[in-house]
Amino acid sequence: MAICRVEIKTSGKNPISFINDVQAILYPEMQAKLLSLSYDTVDVMREIIISNKKRPSLGGNLEETLGVDLLNSVGGVEIGIGNIADLKARAPYFEVLNEGGYVPYSTASGAPLGSFDGDRPEVGGSGQNWERSGNKGFFMKPNKAIEGISYIDIAEKYLFVSLDTITKKWINEELNKLGK
């Protein structure tokens, strides 16, 4: 969670009046800017995922599942990017794609299946094998680990750089206007 602290110094204005002005004018505007930044961050994540796909015609669950949730807007703003429960249900490989490694090979619920119209999928470019799991589909047994693309880390850096820019440029300009 990102926490932004701003030091405020006023000149010629009653501090209580100044705080009321800030809350009435800037708070809703800042919430809107942070919400917009959250959507931009999700777009950055999607672009990274799409640009790193080995087979662009396949998949899409991860990009479609990534989203923004306004968790709280009372007394502050809490915005969630990527609902973990949704990601685990619709794109259970989201962590492996970020960090690298192997998709779990098991029949446990949540393990991604690779069933294609009930037939054994074609062997991938690296010669991965597919094993039938009852009537549930096929599990892939990869020959090599998935290379992580760090889409979460890159998006987080984008978020913090953008948040810093918003803080320094926009908030300081508006606070200076209110303080005069």
Q: Could you tell me what percent of the chain has a pLDDT over 70? A: 63
**Residue type (1 letter), 131:** E
The residues with which 138 forms a beta bridge, in sequence order, are 132
**For the chain, what are the domain ranges?**
1-101+147-180, 102-144
Q: What is the pLDDT of residues 76-108, one digit of tens each?
A: 678 899 999 999 888 888 998 899 887 655 444
Task: Please report how many Cα atoms fall inside a 13 Å half-sphere around the Cα of residue 148, on the Cβ side.
Answer: 13
Model's pTM, two decimal places?
0.68
